[in-house]
Amino acid sequence: MAKHTHSYTIREVSEAMQTVDAVYADAAATVATLLYDSRRLIYTAQGLFFALLGRRDGHRYLDDVYALGVRNYVVMAGRTDTSRFPDANFIVVEDTLRALQELASYHRSRFDYPVIGITGSNGKTIVKEWLMQLLSPEHRIVRSPKSYNSQIGVALSLWQMDASYDLAIIEAGVSEPGEMEPLRTMIRPDMAILTTVGPAHDDGFRSREAKIKEKLQLFSGTAKAVYSPNDTAGIPVPSEGVHITWGSSDATLTVVGHAATAGNRCTIHAKHKGVDVAIDIPFTDAAARANAVCCWAVLLAMGYGQEVIRARMAMLQPVEMRLQMKKGINNCTIIDDSYSNDLASLHIALDFLKQQHRHPIRTLILSDLPGVAEGEVQVYDDLFKLLSDSSINRLITVGPVLGEFKGAPNGIIRESFADTDALLASLPKLDFHDETILLKGARRHAFERVSAALMAKVHDTVLAINLSAVEHNLNQYRSLLPKQVKLMAMVKAFSYGSGDFEIASLLQFNRVDYLAVAYADEGTELRKAGIWMPIMVMNPQPASFEALLEHRLEPEIYSFAILEELINTLVSKNISGYPIHIKVDTGMHRLGFAMADLMQLVQRLGDAPEVKVKSVFSHLAAAGDAQHDAFTVGQLTAFLGFTDRLVGALQYPVLRHIANSAAIQRWPQAHLDMVRLGIGLYGIGAGSGNALQLQQTGTLKTVVTQLHSIPGGDSVGYGRHGRVTKDSRIATVNIGYADGYDRRFGNGVGYMLVNGQRAPTIGDICMDMTMLDVSSIDAKTGDEVIVFDDIEEQAAAIGTIPYELLTGISQRVKRVYYYEM
């Protein structure tokens, strides 16, 4: 993590772990930063790289990491020829993840201030952030960045501890049996907290009891235990210390009830040791109430008086857990993370900026860090070190403390402003254009005003794309693939309607092997946005060959005619060995060479040095449909026969691929050398086959523009097709068939969610608007409306498939992106 205030010699590091062997080129070297992801290297000079065996074996990236300047490594025995890196230090261990945890544990043991550990199914991050807000008047708190609560995340979180703090709050997340013990050993909490536990048992556990038992292991050995007996299901909490409970009738803090108050607030009434007490919080939903009561119990456990608790609870602030990416003025992209500002979250945001590197110029607008006083230069030293390793070109600071800290890391242009008003007044002069702007501001600097000023006007109707869900879905499919199988991601038709370079950048960052688009101009756009990875074009028209060659796009070749046209172009340009992909028709009967073309094709390719076959592929017509499994087997057999002959004749390595999303799930024998992942990436899986936990990636949203109360017997919309039989309330929303909301959804066939409840359409769908019956819903103008909550069900209702609904959302509907942490 981005902390630089402590360092260890390489010898100390090796003594902290169970070392098998050590090779020192420079025994005096010191390390200060823990690295494990070759894509996220920072502070390389004092970095220590752990080669972990995750989905990708870290040992495979040592050359890259070495090239970037890292000279200290922890590797597994027998996996690395250390003599290849003569000037690097190597610590050899049995298990690199355990070594990382041992080092974190050693580091933690050097501090004797209290450590609070938090676990639970929901609310861990919110409770942690709220405790930070509630306790910061007395304490200098170090905490897990965002939701860093995994086996690696906890180690990195603890690594941030140093002598300038007096309290640590660390999250611990588990998803399988056996995971808590290593976390507990590292954290060794003085106080453990259980936030709420959901009723379902998450994937990894046999039962809800097993899940709770695992989480409760965090409590063993703690001096204080805070939990609700409602969540522990009668399982004894393994702490010999003081138990401070909340929720149920015999708890330390018994909740009696709650009542909404003006301004979206809520009062929670409780009994503490027989005395009536209450807090008032600026939230009303059940999750927020539960989290607030949990924090309340923690404060009581820490000895806070009710008056102080009440005053602080009243000022709780929402916790923003997403980075939003939006279109800005003058072709800028705005990455908005304006609600948290500390080095750790800045580090995460800078990573995201590196991934979404659309524009050549990258600007950071940064406010003073909260809780850092004037004259405390260490933090700002760290900040500048972090920035000097980032890709930032332009730094704009806001606030007096940063203003005092002059200068900027090499090559970064710096401007500073006393406060947000001064920045806003100077916006025209700052002349932002064609750049990516990261906004990081502490809450009191109100950067939402900066964000509003920099944003292009967005319609009320947007498709919000969750980039972390796309990443999650990718990893779900990857978990089904053997390591050596490559992955091509289908980003045709604006990534099935989900956007273009944003998704491609994410996939490139996640080291997908290939992208595929339908047309050359889609590929050209991706190249212009900085996508450098290989791209296949499925429908290359001869007219687009120039663009194809200019942008290193690789055509699908499906007929002799297109092959000859391409060869002619290549000859005229004196190009040889140009990458192509051969498509074979094994039964889909769409595009592709016929099976009977084999001999002629082998011959033609044999004397065409202008092209080089990168891959040969075919498409399954019904991979997701068990009814046609015999047909699918036939396609696969035909394909293998064809490719054996073709690849044999070519005498150089050629990738073979046939599996789409459904086949990845249902046909492991079709994975071959590469798979082509399409709709699954966007959250829609096959009904059968290997079960995957996919997440919805897009939410189509609009707003209520007007409400009408109409008497029974009236009609709604064109042709008077919508009839009401009783007095009704009708909401008009800002989406119509020109936005891609199908006309077949009209007259009650479709529905939208208004304040979480289903409101059926009434009357015909108009071009830009739709009317909903909200008679039984408490709706007002400006309310958010979710257009599709279950896209599979809604597609079925009008006799189509999710693909058509997704790709049909018109380009006039603005896409906005966010990333959850």
Please list the active-site residues. 492, 718
Q: Which stretch binds ligand PLP (CB under 6 A): 356-364, 474-482, 670-678, 756-764?
A: 670-678
3-state secondary structure of 691: coil
- Phi, psi torsion values for 489, nearest 5 degrees: -105, 130
Number of residues interacting with ligand PLP: please give it, by CB under 6 A.
11
Question: Closest separation between CB of residue 678 and ligand PLP, Å?
Answer: 2
CA distance 14 to 22: 8
Cβ closer to ligand PLP: 606 or 687? Answer: 687
Contact letters (x/-) for ligand PLP, 673-692, by CB under 6 A?
---xxxxx------------
Residue 108 lies near ligand PLP (rule: CB under 6 A):
no
**C-alpha dihedral over 495, 496, 497, 501, to 10 degrees?**
0
Cβ closer to ligand PLP: 1 or 503? Answer: 503
Strand order from edge to edge, sheet including 33-35: 19-23, 89-93, 72-76, 47-50, 33-35
Q: Which stretch binds ligand PLP (CB under 6 A): 156-164, 212-220, 397-405, 654-662?
A: 654-662
Site for ligand PLP in 339-378 (CB under 6 A): none
Q: Which H/E stretch holds residue 53?
A: none
Dig out the tokens for 584 from the structure. 């074979």
Q: Which stretch binds ligand PLP (CB under 6 A): 375-383, 394-402, 671-679, 760-768?
A: 671-679
Cβ closer to ligand PLP: 58 or 678? Answer: 678
Question: Closest separation between CB of residue 503 and ligand PLP, Å?
Answer: 14
Q: How far is CA 463 from CA 207, 678, 700, 788, in A?
A: 37, 19, 4, 10
CA distance 195 to 291: 7
Question: Closest separation between CB of residue 602 and ligand PLP, Å?
Answer: 22
Cβ closer to ligand PLP: 130 or 642? Answer: 642
Q: Which stretch binds ligand PLP (CB under 6 A): 247-255, 672-680, 739-747, 780-788?
A: 672-680
Cβ closer to ligand PLP: 445 or 492? Answer: 492
Which residues contact residue 742 at a Cβ distance below 8 angstroms, ignoring those fewer than 6 apart? 750, 765, 798, 800, 805, 808
Cβ closer to ligand PLP: 5 or 807? Answer: 807
Q: How many CB atoms lie within 10 A of CB 236?
A: 9
Question: Closest separation between CB of residue 132 and ligand PLP, Å?
Answer: 43
Residue 806 lies near ligand PLP (rule: CB under 6 A):
no
The alpha carbons of the chain give a radius of gyration, in whole angstroms, of: 29
The closest residue (CB) to ligand PLP is 678
Residue 476 lies near ligand PLP (rule: CB under 6 A):
no
Question: Closest separation between CB of residue 662 and ligand PLP, Å?
Answer: 6
Site for ligand PLP in 494-553 (CB under 6 A): 538
Residue 587 lies near ligand PLP (rule: CB under 6 A):
no
Annotate 591-609 with DSSP letters as a single string: SSB-GGGHHHHHHHHHT-T
CA distance 149 to 468: 16
Q: Which stretch binds ligand PLP (CB under 6 A): 195-203, 419-427, 660-668, 747-755?
A: 660-668
CA distance 780 to 762: 18
Question: Closest separation between CB of residue 657 and ligand PLP, Å?
Answer: 8
Site for ligand PLP in 610-649 (CB under 6 A): 619
Cβ closer to ligand PLP: 551 or 676? Answer: 676
Is residue 234 left, alpha or beta, with left meaning phi > 0 and alpha meaning psi from -120 to 50? left
Dig out the tokens for 435 from the structure. 């750049």
DSSP class of residue 688? S
Question: Closest separation between CB of residue 791 and ligand PLP, Å?
Answer: 14
Q: How far is CA 461 from CA 232, 493, 579, 738, in A?
A: 43, 20, 41, 12
CA distance 625 to 660: 13
For ligand PLP, the binding residue among 661, 728, 761, 794 (CB under 6 A) is: 661
Question: Closest separation between CB of residue 661 and ligand PLP, Å?
Answer: 3
Cβ closer to ligand PLP: 437 or 677? Answer: 677
Q: Which stretch binds ligand PLP (CB under 6 A): 125-133, 498-506, 657-665, 735-743?
A: 657-665
The residue assigned the tokens 């990081």 is 440
CA distance 668 to 477: 12
Residue 660 lies near ligand PLP (rule: CB under 6 A):
yes
Footprint of ligand PLP on this chain (CB under 6 A)? 490, 538, 619, 660-662, 676-680
